[in-house]
Amino acid sequence: MMFVSIIFLVLVTHVGSVMPTEELKPKNIFLLAGQSNMAGRGGIYNDTKTNLHKWDGKVPPQCTPTPKILTLSLNKTWEIAREPLHKEIDNLKTCGVGPGMPFSNQILAKHPDFGVIGLVPCAVGGTKIEKWQKGTTLYNQLVDRARAARQCTSCNIRALLWYQGESDCGERDSRLYMGRLEKFFNNLRHDLDSPYLPILLVVISAGEGNFLRNVRDAQLNINLKNVVRVDAMGLTLLPDHLHLDTKSAVRIGQKLADDFLLSQEVIKPNRSPKFNNLNK
């Protein structure tokens, strides 16, 4: 009898550990795309002994896991979201803390009845905007994962969070950036049957090249409706002068959440939310 009881206890414990991800389905879906600062590099350092990049493993309280924040795994199943959020998607790089978890926790902190959030990680470090054009591997993966995420009847894609452009700061790429970005956004909205999909666009603060200003100007002046801009200028970077540290990744995530919630009061098909600056 004792042996049977032990087996029963083990089975109950095992079932209890997996039930949350099996039972919960997200209500509000957010697509996370772009390059390394969206994938997350907070807490990344160079190990001088191995000369390899490593994550320090420090998870700030704003990134605390909860059953109310799920992530779509590489195999397209819903799991409780944890840092590093992009470790399966941006798997050729070392991932750390990014904006996704603080974004979600900030929404839930301000609106506890918001509903379960489903994050869809798609960002890949070092990718130019041309790598996100329709027909490319990254674009196809983004659309495929977005469609898979909204399969449940209650699921609704609420916005795309986009943080990209650092790799487009060369002379030619920066000149072409605005046209490529607008084309990408238009194609994505069309292919997701969501012509007014809200886009939360981070205006970059650093880049690999001498034409950062051109990319920033393109992001600040993009001529599309329902685009909320959040400027990352002034946030603290890692020693590489390119990636946000953990504190800044948390701050940009929270600001994206605040501006998303604010934008929902004004977003209409014929209106565009105001530009929002982190330095205000």
**Structural tokens at position 9:** 């206890």
∠ CA(276), CA(277), CA(279), 5° rounding?
A: 150
Apex CA 158: angle with CA 154 and CA 160, to 5°? 135
Instruction: Return the SS3 of 120.
Output: strand
> Which of 243, 245, 248, 263 does the annotation list as catalytic?
243
CA atoms within 13 A on the CB side of 116: 22
CATH of 53-277, one of 3.30.565.10, 3.40.718.10, 3.40.50.1110, 3.30.1490.270: 3.40.50.1110
- Residue 171 CB burial class (10 angstroms; 0-12, 13-18, ≥19): exposed
- pLDDT, position 8: 36
Burial profile 17-49: b = 16 or more Cβ within 10 angstroms, e = fewer: eeeebeebebbbbbbbbbbbbbbbbbbbeeeee
DSSP string of 154-203?
T-EEEEEEEE--GGG-SHHHHHHHHHHHHHHHHHHHHHTT-TT--EEEEE
Q: Tell me, what's the pLDDT at 276? A: 52
pLDDT score recorded for residue 24: 73
Sign of the Cα pseudo-torsion (190, 192, 197, 199, in order): negative
Q: Quick one: which of 213, 160, 126, 188 has its CA closest to 31?
A: 160
**List 56, 154, 190, 240, catalytic entry:** 240
* pLDDT confidence of residue 152: 82
Both tokens of 22, joined, read: 């099996």
- The one catalytic residue in 36, 167, 205, 248 is 36
Is 36 one of the catalytic residues? yes
Q: Which residues of the chain have pLDDT under 70?
A: 1-23, 266-280
Query: Is 141 buried (19+), middle (13-18) or exposed (0-12) by CB count in 10 A?
Result: middle
Given a contact cutoff of 8 angstroms between Cβ atoms, the answer to whether 6 and 55 are in contact is no
Cα separation, 260 vs 204, whole angstroms: 18
Peptide bond before residue 121 is cis, with ω within 30 degrees of 0: no
pLDDT value, residue 277 = 55
Of 230, 16, 60, 33, the C-alpha closest to 122 is 33
| Side-chain-side CA neighbours of residue 246 (13 Å) | 17
Give the pLDDT of residue 11.
38
Alpha-carbon distance 257 to 159, whole Å? Answer: 11
Q: Known catalytic residue: 14?
A: no
240 is catalytic: yes
